Amino acid sequence: MIKQFKPDVIWSTYPIATAHLIGAALHHRSGLPWIADFRDPMAQDGYPADMKTWQSYKRIEEEAIRLAHFCVFTTPGAARTYRSRYPAARDRIVVLENGFDEESFLQLVSRNESSDPLLPGGVLLLHSGIVYPEERDPRPLFVAMRRLVESSRLRPSEMRIRFRAAVHDQWLNSLAAELGVKEFIELCPPIAYREALAEMLRADALLVLQSTDCNDQIPAKLYEYLRAGRPILGLTDPEGDTAGALREAGLDTIARLESADEIEVLLPKFLISVMKETARLPLAATVARASRRGRAESLAHLIESCC
């Protein structure tokens, strides 16, 4: 294929680890510049759990870092980790974040989707996507909600959390029942991609869940949240990359996911600001940079610098 199509650059993408082995082999045989797209870290503490697999991952990433013209990561934290791990390659380790598809949103506008409120008189807080029991555990959020209910500071008519395509519905349902907040929770099945985007546009506010263990990661869904232009409640470590992305977009409603105390303070203020329409919305300039067109321009510059 290299002889036939005469490419200028080789690009390989993890999480298929052997993709980097193929990229390295093609680089050796052709002499073409190679970009290794890691996205997220490969060999991590405790991952992969199998030691032989971990050692294979470690060997593959070491070869990629040594040979690739650039090594690409999706978050600043992941890039920092690898610059610290491989200081000799720090100038070749770059960040290219995820993004959103503007055309999909424009099609929704052209279809004139309904703008009727999803929870008349209250705030519908939407979490769209998987709720991982460890990395996105909403238990402290539910505890904070129960405290607010017990102190008469929150009623079901004032707020509903809709979990769309959470996957772990039975666990969420049991957890909400255990903590006495079941009437605040909606568990909804997966829907088509554009329908999910339309729901984001209609929600009163959007919910991000990200644990401290994931400080070097940013949920890809966050970029679609930003484009939806709704207020965002970020339950994540203020020191992590997800909080950094929110602050870059001008948003400051952030509390640690693990802290029921912080959530208990933040949640009522956030709900009031949403109902009064005074909540901050994502900055237009940040949203524009997060479009796939904007990310493609960054990728083009990276490829051009290899050539």
**Which pLDDT belongs to residue 218?**
93
H helices of the chain, in order, are 2-5, 18-30, 51-67, 76-85, 102-110, 139-150, 169-178, 193-202, 221-228, 241-248, 260-275, 284-289, 292-306
Q: What is the structure's pLDDT at 69?
A: 97
Global pTM reads 0.85
Q: Which residues of 177-204 are buried (b: 16+ CB within 10 A; e: fewer)?
A: eebebeebbebeeeeeeeebbbbbbbbb
Would you state the pLDDT for residue 107?
Answer: 83
DSSP string, 71-129: EEESSHHHHHHHHHH-GGGGGGEEE----B-HHHHHHHHHTT-----SSTTSEEEEEES
pLDDT of 114 > 60? The answer is no
The domains located in the chain, with CATH, are 2-99+291-306 (3.40.50.2000), 102-288 (3.40.50.2000)
Contacts of 259 (CB under 8 A, 6+ apart): 140
By DSSP bridging, strand 185-188 and strand 159-164 are parallel
Residue 47 has pLDDT above 80, yes or no: yes
Collect all residues with Cβ–Cβ distance below 8 Å to 30 and sequence separation of at least 6. Answer: 2, 10
Decide if 120 contacts 210 (C-beta within 8 A): no
Question: Residue 53: pLDDT band by 50, 70, 90 thresholds?
Answer: very high
Model confidence at 307, pLDDT cuts 50, 70, 90, reads confident
pLDDT at 46 over 70: yes
Q: Please write the tens of the pLDDT for every residue from 165-192.
A: 999 999 999 999 999 999 999 999 999 9
Task: Tokens for 16, please give them.
Answer: 């298929």
Whether the predicted pLDDT of 115 surpasses 70:
no
**121-180 pLDDT tens trace:** 899 999 999 999 988 999 999 999 999 999 999 999 999 999 999 999 999 999 999 999
Segment 285-299 shows an average pLDDT of 90
Helices 169-178, 139-150: axis angle to 10 degrees equals: 30
Match 């008469």 to its residue by tokens. 152
Residue 111: what pLDDT?
A: 53
